[in-house]
Structure 1
Amino acid sequence: MDLLVQSLRSGDSLVITRINRLARSLKDLQNLVLKLKSKDVTLKATEQPVDTSTAASKTFLDMLCVFAEFETNLRRERQMEGIAAAKARDVYRGRKPKIDPDEVRRLHKEKLSPSAIAKRLGSARSSVYRFLPTTDQASS
């Protein structure tokens, strides 16, 4: 995004289809709009009545952003509630390991390096490290 903003010149318009993919939060979007304004660049959306060259449209943009952030926060809250309920029912355990932790430890006792273990088991080295004592990670 920074490269895009740097390439814009005074009098340009940044045209997008929808604002919901432009920034991660209301604050990010407001900061972007301020950067564009400082460069005398307007923001326009083709599928929404957004055009920062007018006060009414700027206000509409702010309202859209507030509701989008509110919706994101509600979705996050519902997700956290669902995870808590699943953990309470003991059904939320995460993904099953792709490799056998006991096999990783056995190979490690045979003095194989984490890279060699990962290669032998067809896994990533980072996966191997999860099953090794933390002191071995610093030395490898």
Structure 2
Amino acid sequence: MIVHYIHILVGFNEHTSSFMRIGYARVSTFDQNLDLQLNALQNVGCEKIFQEKVSGTSKERPQLQMMIAHLRSGDEVVVWKLDRLGRSLTHLIELVNQFSDKGVSFSSVNDKIDTSTSSGKLIFHLFCSLAEYERNIIRERTMAGLEVARLKGKLGGKPKGLTEEAKNTARIAESLHKEGYGVKMIAAQLNKSRTTVYKYLAYRGVNIN
């Protein structure tokens, strides 16, 4: 992944009191080109652009973290498209709320969103509502699945040759993991050992770091 940022404004002084429009550009692989995003961000007046090449699902984004550390109240973060910033809708909302807490606005060139305007704030709040709706749906399905699993009793077995009931438990374990539950909590919810939960998650293709 690329671990550097570029200064567009010659002679920039990080201690200056003026507010900045700061860009963030990302592509998923090293063979992809950042030029399209960089040109767009420069055209809208970004004075500083952080850039990196890393998968959208990766939690390791050193340049994103560096950008956040550099933000000051009054600054504006700009991206080419929303999917360049967040790993998911939930992650995007977390980041924009983090910007807001710092007194920093956010805008997306292609999506015509600018949280410094009333209409931009309205659109973003709609995103927040959709994310909450999605979380509630997942939670309801997860709890319904847990109830079915409890009624059917303890489910065990190894990943290979799982019964249909065990496969259902594996799906429930995956849903709980997506909700942010740790392996220990999932094991307690399912009344399983942590070893079994790890096997279920591995069966569902979930990588545990």
> TM-score normalised to the size of structure 2?
0.35
TM-score relative to the length of structure 1:
0.48
* Structure in which a larger fraction of residues adopt helix: 1
Higher share of residues assigned strand: 2
